[in-house]
Amino acid sequence: MNVSSIGATSAGASQATRTNSRDQFLKLFLTQLQHQNPLEPMQDRDFLMQLAQFAQVENAEEMAHTLQQLQTLVTATQAATLLGKHVIALREGEPAPLEGRVSAVRFTADGVWLVVDGREVRAQHVLQVSA
């Protein structure tokens, strides 16, 4: 059975995006605190509201990341169950469907690919599966 890395590229990019967003928010927040009018400082409730909004954004980003990981895992599991099965699938740019046994599953940054009789086809283009 041939199984490649699952989502390593997208996971690293997602972590970098979250870190970058957090850093940008903290820089903006600190700049705002440094440049506020000392005679009219930020109200406690405004400060707490901004912190709460930041926490909500972080939670939403974490949930989106977790859902993406779950989707990748489900797709990988579904594709792996096709190993050894006979499939009929459409290949991009070809009018006739490809028919044959799935010998390998490949996971790349642009999706899940099945190797059918030595040719690759996207997993979502499978039309029929049989034993």
Q: What is the pTM of this model?
A: 0.53
**Is pLDDT at 8 greater than 60 in this prediction?**
no
Query: What CA–CA distance (Å, rounded) separates 93 from 107?
Result: 21
**Is pLDDT at 2 greater than 80 in this prediction?**
no
Query: What CA–CA distance (Å, rounded) separates 93 from 3?
Result: 26
**Is pLDDT at 49 greater than 90 in this prediction?**
no
What are the structural domains, with CATH classification, of the chain? 8-130 (2.30.30.140)
User: How is residue 79 written in tokens?
Assistant: 């594709």
**Is pLDDT at 31 greater than 50 in this prediction?**
yes
Per DSSP, the residues of 60-81 read HHHHHHHHHHHHHHHHHHHHHT
Q: What is the pLDDT of residues 60-116, one digit of tens each?
A: 989 999 998 898 889 889 899 999 999 999 998 888 999 999 999 998 888 899 999
**Is pLDDT at 5 greater than 80 in this prediction?**
no
Query: What CA–CA distance (Å, rounded) separates 95 from 52?
Result: 54
